[in-house]
Amino acid sequence: MNALVNLATALADGSIETVDLTHTLDPDFPVMILPPEFGQCARFRVEEVSRYDERGPGGYWRNFSCGEHTGTHFDAPIHWISGRDLPNATVDAIAPENFVGPVFVIDCSAESAVDEDYLLSVEAIKIWEKTHGQITENAWVLMRTDWSKRRGAEYLNMREDGAHSPGPSADAVRFLVEERNIRGFGTETVGTDAGQGAHLSPPYPAHYILHGAGRYGLQCLANLDALPPTGAVLICPPLKIKHGSGSPLRVLALVERNSNAG
Partner 1 sequence: MTTPIQKPPKKNPQIRTVVPTLPPASRSRRALAFTVAAAEGRFALQKCAMCGHIAYPPREACPKCLSMELPWTDVPTGGQLIAETTVQTSINTYFRERTPWRMGTVLLDAGVTVQCHVHGGVLRNGRVRMIARTDKSGKGVMMALPESEGENMADDKQLRELTCDPKHRRVLITDGRHMSALSLAQHLAGAGASIIFVGLAEDWRKPPKQAALEAIPQVEIVPLDITNTTSVTECAGEIGGKVDILINNCEYVRPGGIMGRRDVITAQDEMAVNYFGLMRLMQAFGPAMRGRGADGANSAVAWVNILSVYALSNLPEFGATSASQAAALSLAQCFRGEMAGSGVKVVNAFCGPLDDAWRQPLPPPKVSPEVLARDVLRCLQQGLENITIGDVAHDVRTRWIEDPRVLEKELTQIEGM
| Catalytic option among 79, 132, 164, 243 | 79
Give the nearest distance from C-beta 200 to partner 1 in angstroms. Answer: 23
Could you confirm whether 164 is annotated as catalytic? Answer: no
Binding site for partner 1 (CB under 8 A): 27-28, 30, 33, 36, 39-40, 42-43, 45-48, 151-153, 155-156, 158
Smaller CB distance to partner 1: residue 27 or 59?
Answer: 27
Closest CA to 185 of 254, 106, 128, 259: 106
Give the nearest distance from C-beta 198 to partner 1 in angstroms. Answer: 18
Biggest alpha carbon–alpha carbon distance for the chain? 64
Smaller CB distance to partner 1: residue 33 or 233?
Answer: 33
Smaller CB distance to partner 1: residue 30 or 217?
Answer: 30
N-terminal to C-terminal alpha carbon distance within the chain: 32
CA distance 47 to 65: 9
Smaller CB distance to partner 1: residue 70 or 169?
Answer: 70
Element (H, E) at 9: helix 2-13
CA distance 64 to 172: 37
Smaller CB distance to partner 1: residue 47 or 161?
Answer: 47
Which amino acid appears at position 54 of this protein?
E
Which amino acid appears at position 117 of this protein?
D
Dihedral pair phi/psi, residue 36, rounded to 5°? -60, -25
Give the nearest distance from C-beta 151 to partner 1 in angstroms. Answer: 8
Give the nearest distance from C-beta 92 to partner 1 in angstroms. Answer: 21
Burial string for 1-16 (b: 16+ CB within 10 Å, else e) reads: eeeeeeeeeeeeeeeb
Give the nearest distance from C-beta 227 to partner 1 in angstroms. Answer: 25
CA distance 61 to 45: 14
CA distance 35 to 38: 6
**Catalytic positions:** 79
